Structure 1
């Protein structure tokens, strides 16, 4: 018995385009029902189930945006993509914000159409398979913040749209990006992290775009998968333009090539500040911002999670699998702490507490907080002792080493975040750690 073909509903009022796309889809071994307008399409959808919908944005009795809203309401499990004129990207982005899976620009590139369908059917298959949810501590609890994040995560499952994740230091933005990748059609393809703070301006082009015998560019590594970008505003303006062209065209021409390299990448941007602020400051191209600012997540800081505080603590302790619980006094001590480095800091504190606790119940003395007053006292102790007979360079190195170790401790030894805290570059902190013997 032959396997059932996936079924596609196609909506376009131009008979020639409708015929061409129908023939193309049939050659791809798909069953196709073509419709000339919204009324005909809605009638067909009521009569039989479809695996995918492809609709033009301009229709005689409405538009594709109306079709997207209709399908997301009545057929939420069916991916829908829109076809748009190249100059109408704004409408296509609006469609993705409404829940469209993706969009195609006219004239339709058949490679892009194949890629889109491949992801759509992989998404359908993945949806039908039993899923094991990744534990993400920020989602613990039943407060409004956790609920909002859960709703957005559920909505973004059926989309290829770019995502922007905003959050304070330590809010586990990259962990959320990983979950978005894992629940998408790209889960079996690479998840690649790129932080521009780790790459000086002069190296950016080679790192991002250039392949060689000894190195594969970040873009090539992320092909068919997801590229998670941090500190996008540190990318030079000319390379921001090239990144935009890559997103638009799904290809780029390397300096040593004459033919474009086809790439299919989903972009997720992580940032501590809203991208609109970076545009206002002249650090981010407005056209790039417009293209990637489609689906937004804002991760709340820990200080705003009072209702879910105990649940978040419990999720970490459960994950450690030590069988230890938190005593009421220890919980009270934690609740008074401000957690400047949020969930990452909490994880670090609780992990140390489970290691130090000699009983099943964690006590206040087992909770070691990152006390800035203590660090300040140590700094004053060095100053009080004075330079003595030490050389000035040695004396300054002691202070420098202490400040770097303090920043690393606060950020759970995340060098990128520690460098940001110290207001130095990633390259500088890496050099100083080696020089000062910090391991």
Structure 2
């Protein structure tokens, strides 16, 4: 096994297309990751044994085998290795099978650099941070506020129990997925898989949960562990009811189901069942005692990722951190610290660096200067909210206070208008 001089996570890219491998390597290399490549199943297994990557990106079609089978072989040797699957065209059955074999997400070709980088960061963020088992009820929740102490106390009570379902409620970006992972790590289920399904983005959530033919799926793959359902209220009522029936029939082996929602009044039979053990999480602006501990944690995390030594923040930087409103909550704080750390070689973060990172241009929807048509401002505001929601249309619709279908119809109509306008000016 080769030992790396760098602390940057190594990512294994497996694809028989040299162009795809080169594009992925350049994109990830610029972001500070070390990249190793393989063009076949055989070479991938050899490289993985030599390099021990932190993440694998696997094409589903390889010259000497099947990408899904390669996932199984990789997981057999490295059970905690996260993976992404890549394909020009993927059938729902293949997606479900890949997730069952351990894939965290799937990407379509041609690869988009931003989507690739975002998926890699998300997959790496979910990998176990420590190799030693975590003792039950030892929950790795960062924060010093009274509000977080109450959340920690609630989850610590739930962790050692045989609770079958939990609902974590809070605004987008407050750290619900992180808390769900901490609950899993501190429970007796920590040795088993912890899997996540984004119900608002899933192509076929019923297939993902139960499998294409009623066998397999995430519920089976997470047996004895934890299944996190993000935006759980987006599941159709019949799917929620079917999931409840499945849990009743598989009491002995069923995973702990943790639902995440931004809506305190979310509805549905599964949501109502999960709500029996509800954990409300306040926004970051209401728990300012968490800002500095979280900022220090994220700075250390960024230092470990890039192999740099950070000493903390100056008093002015801490003052600016505490003075910012953090409308994007913990996610915004984490991304801000990561962005600052990427541009520094180490040392202490100063106040002006915080100021630059938290000062954005006036949003496009803000009516500055000459009057603009109302519809133009509305469209720009919708774009702004979608960006604020990280591209998640379901969350954007919730922030806008409209139905997701209304948002979808509005965007389709606007695209049609832009297309007609383009034809007229062509």
Normalising by structure 2, we get a TM-score of 0.52
Question: Of residues 179, 182, 187 in structure 2, which corresponds to 1:179?
Answer: 182
Q: 1:340 aligns with which of 285, 302, 327?
A: 327
Partner in structure 1 of residue 209 of structure 2:
208
**Per-residue deviation, 1:268:** 0.8
**Cα 1:239–1:359 shift into 2, 3 Å:** closer
TM alignment of 1:18-57, pairs within 5 A: none
Q: Which ranges of structure 1 fall in alignment gaps of 5 or more residues?
A: 1-127, 252-261, 388-394
Give the corresponding residue for 1:155: 157
Instruction: State the Cα deviation string for residues 271-304 of structure 1 (Å, max 9, x = none).
Output: 1122xx23xxxx323xx45532333322222112
Aligned pairs for 1:363-402 (under 5 A) are 363-367=350-354, 368-369=356-357, 374-376=362-364, 380=367
Cα contact 1:357–1:366 (8 A) shared by 2: no
| C-alpha displacement of 1:362 | 2.0
Max radius of gyration: which structure?
A: 1
Is the 1:344–1:412 contact (alpha carbons within 8 Å) kept by the matching residues of 2? no
**What's the offset of the Cα at 1:139?**
2.7
Residue 165 (structure 1) aligned to one of 163, 168, 177: 168
Q: State how far apart, in whole Å, the 2-side matches of 1:289 and 1:402 are.
A: 31
User: Are the counterparts in 2 of residues 370 and 410 from structure 1 also a CA contact under 8 Å?
Assistant: no
Equivalent position of 2:148 in the other structure: 146
Distance in 2 separating the partners of 1:316 and 1:134? 20
SS at match of 1:164: strand
CA RMSD of aligned residues (A): 4.2
Between the aligned partners of 1:183 and 1:132, the Cα distance in structure 2 is 4
Residues 228 and 257 in structure 2, CA contact (< 8 A), matched pair in contact too: yes
- Structure 1 residue 269: deviation in Å? 1.0
Structure 1 CA distance for aligned equivalents of residues 133 and 217 of structure 2: 33
CA contact (8 A) 1:302 1:343 kept: yes
- Per-residue displacement from partner, 1:19-44 (whole Å, max 9, x unpaired)? xxxxxxxxxxxxxxxxxxxxxxxxxx
Counterpart of 1:361 in 2: which secondary structure?
Answer: strand
Question: Relative to structure 1, is the Cα distance of residues 420 and 356 closer, same or farther in structure 2, using a 3 angstrom cutoff?
Answer: farther
| In 1: Cα distance, 2:351 partner to 2:323 partner | 12
Structure 2: how far apart are the matches of 1:319 and 1:408? 27
Distance 1:170 1:249 in 2: 34
Shift of the 311–208 alpha-carbon distance from structure 1 to 2, 3 Å rule, reads closer
Structure 2 gap segments, 5+ residues each: 1-131, 304-308, 419-426
Tell whether 2:262 aligns with 1:272: yes
Corresponding residue of 2:318: 331
Per the alignment, residue 305 of structure 1 pairs with 287
Alignment of 1:61-210 (within 5 A): 131=135, 136=140, 139-141=142-144, 143-161=145-163, 162-199=165-202, 203-210=204-211
Question: For each residue in 1:34-64, what CA deviation from the matched residue of structure 2 results, as whole angstroms up to 9, or x when unmatched?
Answer: xxxxxxxxxxxxxxxxxxxxxxxxxxxxxxx
Are residues 384 and 363 of structure 1, via their aligned partners in 2, closer, same or farther at CA, if it must alter by over 3 Å?
Answer: farther
CA distance in 1, matches of 2:298, 2:137: 16
- Using the size of structure 1 for normalisation, the TM-score is 0.51
Question: For 1:360-386, what per-residue CA distance to the aligned partner results, in whole angstroms no more than 9, with x for missing partners?
Answer: 232333224555761147x657x9598
Is the contact made by 2:237 and 2:268 (CA closer than 8 Å) also made in structure 1?
Answer: yes
CA offset digits 1:340-399 (Å, max 9, x no partner): 11111011111222233577232333224555761147x657x95989xxxxxxx98x99
Give the Cα separation in 2 of the matches to 1:341 and 1:305. Answer: 14
Structure 1 residues 399 and 129, CA gap change in structure 2 (3 angstroms): closer
Structure 2 equivalent of residue 291 of structure 1: 273
- Give the Cα separation in 2 of the matches to 1:193 and 1:419: 22
3-state secondary structure, aligned to 1:197: coil
The 3 A distance-change label for structure 1 pair 233 and 311 is closer
1:350 aligns with 2:337: yes
The offset of 1:246, in angstroms, is 1.9
- Does structure 2 retain, via aligned residues, the 8 Å contact 1:326–1:363? yes
| CA distance in structure 1 between the aligned counterparts of 2:311 and 2:136, rounded to whole angstroms | 25
Task: Give per-residue Cα distances to partners, 1:98-148, cap 9 Å, x unaligned.
Answer: xxxxxxxxxxxxxxxxxxxxxxxxxxxxxx966499985x5322x322322
**Structure 2 equivalent of residue 102 of structure 1:** none
